[in-house]
Amino acid sequence: MHTTKILAALTMATTAVTLTACADPTTNSATGAQSNVAASSNTTAYDVSQIPTDTDTAASSNTAAYDVSQIPTDPTIAALVPEEVKKRGTLRNGASTGYAPAEYMATDGQTPVGYDIDINKALAKVMGLKEGSTHHAEFPTIIPALGTKFDVGLSSFTITSEREQQVNMVSYLNVGSAWGVATGNPKNFDTSNPCGTTVAVQTGTAQETYAEELSKQCEADGKEKITVMPHELQTDIATKIISGQYDATLADSTVIGYTAAGSDGKIEQLGETFESAPQGIAINKDDAELTEAVQKAMQYLMDNGYLKDILGHYGAQDAALTTAELNPATTE
């Protein structure tokens, strides 16, 4: 999502490089070939069958949806909901379901799951509606369908000035990039000097572009290049990080958090999340009533700890914002 930021930062790169990447949910990360390098014979393979990936076909079967039944309706907020939405009783969300842990398909290939799906259900509860439903849509088609097919778009939308010209955006997350390593950092990976290491990335992400450019910078500085290992699946990366084949992985902070949460304590984030950018709920620009209701409902989820709880269910609790801002200022 932030490839331009990455390339701009690269022009300023020094020995200690500042990272500036975040994956784009519109990017199809299922285009690269998988690597089948075997783990060493004396290393017990870690069972990664329960770590969800960001493909649209492989999701964890044991990641149950967050239980929103405990979330009460706020009568004041419910009164703000437009009559058409009240009568329907459903808050309709459009999402491109190929981006775990935010939005992806369950193992049945038909049921959308992920924290954005749960957040939509939680918003519906606060707003006094019967349910929050999510239907898959290709990413570029979501915004044009707001106000007709969909009420909201919760689909990892980074807030940009261009999008704010098209729709209203209510901020709720801050997502950046992060490094992941085997717990305890047995390879002694140094985030300020990754030259000479082996780094795994997901194919097609901005992090892959950045890692390749960072490797070139290492060579320009007279250091060893980074061996960049692209993979289609996050599960492949997790296996090789745990077995010691790779030094580190670079991905969206939410992806790293989710992978760590599903690794039985074998993977951890190293260092802080960097170059974070806010994500927002997209709402039709002309629907002031629904916009106000969604903004206040999101603020309710924040104030009462529900947003952080939902994100924590997917290992992404650190991404939660504390203020649901309408159309915040942005540099993009």
Q: Which amino acid is at 94?
A: G
Enumerate residue ranges in the chain where pLDDT < 70: 1-63, 204-206, 233-235, 331-332
Cα(294)–Cα(77) distance, rounded to whole angstroms? Answer: 9
Find tokens 């892959």 and name the residue. 208
- Sheet with 98-99, strands from edge to edge, namely 98-99, 103-105, 112-113
- Rounded CA-CA distance 96/118 in Å is 15
Task: Give the span between the Cα atoms of 325 and 200, in whole angstroms.
Answer: 35
- pTM higher than 0.75: no
Contact (Cβ atoms closer than 8 angstroms) between residue 234 and residue 158: no
Name the residue among 317, 283, 313, 321 with its Cα closest to residue 114.
Answer: 313
* Among 112, 146, 190, 137, residue whose Cα is nearest residue 283: 146
- Given the structure tokens 């960049």, which residue do they identify? 228
pLDDT of residue 14: 34
Q: What angle do CA 45, 48, 50 make, to 5 degrees?
A: 150
**Distance, CA of 102 to CA of 117 (rounded, Å):** 8
230 and 203 in contact (C-beta within 8 Å)? yes
Cis check for the bond before 101: say yes or no (omega within 30 of 0).
yes
Q: DSSP labels for 109-176?
A: SS-EESHHHHHHHHHHHHTT-SEEEEEE--HHHHGGGBTTTBSEEEEEEE--HHHHHHEEEEEEEEEE
Quote the DSSP letter at residue 35: P
| CB-based contact 268:279 (threshold 8 Å) | no
Question: 223 and 281 in contact (C-beta within 8 Å)?
Answer: no
Q: What is the pLDDT of residue 311?
A: 94
DSSP state at residue 19:
P
What residue ranges define each of the domains in the chain, with the CATH number in brackets?
3-57+176-275 (3.40.190.10), 68-175+278-319 (3.40.190.10)
As a whole number of Å, the end-to-end CA separation of the chain is: 11
Calpha distance 300→70 (Å, rounded): 14
- C-alpha distances (whole Å) from 63 to each of 58, 121, 131, 191, 265 are 12, 16, 20, 31, 17
Strand order through the sheet with 131-136: 131-136, 90-95, 152-158, 267-284, 167-182, 248-252, 198-202, 227-231
Q: Give the per-residue pLDDT at 262.
A: 80
Token pair for 103: 């939005």
Place of tokens 């990936």: 53
Given this model, what pLDDT does residue 17 score? 39
Identify the pLDDT of residue 47: 39
pLDDT at 9: 38
- pLDDT value of position 63: 63
pLDDT confidence of residue 204: 65
